[in-house]
Amino acid sequence: MVIWIIGLSGSGKSFLANKIYKRLVKENKKTIFIDGDDIRKFITYDLGYSVKDRKKNSQMISDLCKFLENKGFIVVCSILSIFKDHQQKNRKKFKKYIQIYIKSDLKKLIHINSNNVYQSKKNVVGKDINFPTPYKSHFTIERSDKKKYLHVYNKIISKI
């Protein structure tokens, strides 16, 4: 199973992914947490932030998730995931796939700027590169709606 958590930088993808991961580990599920930022730091560090490099990075992360799923892991992955074709392929690629979209207001994220992404870098998704509405997410969470956030979290855990 692959749980694919997507959204803009600073939307809370890693926070939700880590929360799900910790819960599954606590239940003794064979689980691994893949964070797009970590993959970029340790594996695909030679890739830039152009659309072409982002596409290659996304494909490599998807392939890594498939490898780990084949080894029996539940994979919790937080990634920008701006390519609808990758999201469509994921539905066929993985045995079980749950896509969660954390919807955020870009202006609020720029104001918060928790990862110092929006002012200091080029080719930023949402600012310089379009972030299209994801393809058929199983769950959509409004970042600012904590009640729905907890509801969706509980639904995800019960679905697993």
> Which residues, at least 6 apart from 78, have a Cβ–Cβ distance to it below 8 Å?
5, 6, 13, 14, 16, 17, 33, 34, 35, 36
What is the CA 27 to chain-centroid distance, rounded?
A: 22
Q: Please report which helix (H) or strand (E) contains residue 2, including its range.
A: strand 2-7
Known active-site residue 81: yes
| Alpha-carbon separation of residue 94 from 2, 26, 60, 76, 88 (angstroms) | 7, 24, 14, 13, 11
User: In whole angstroms, what is the distance from residue 20 CA to residue 31 CA?
Assistant: 10
Catalytic residue among 9, 62, 78, 81: 81
DSSP letter, residue 81: -
> Coil, strand, or helix at residue 69?
helix
Cβ-contact 135, 97 below 8 angstroms: no
Which residues are tagged catalytic?
A: 81
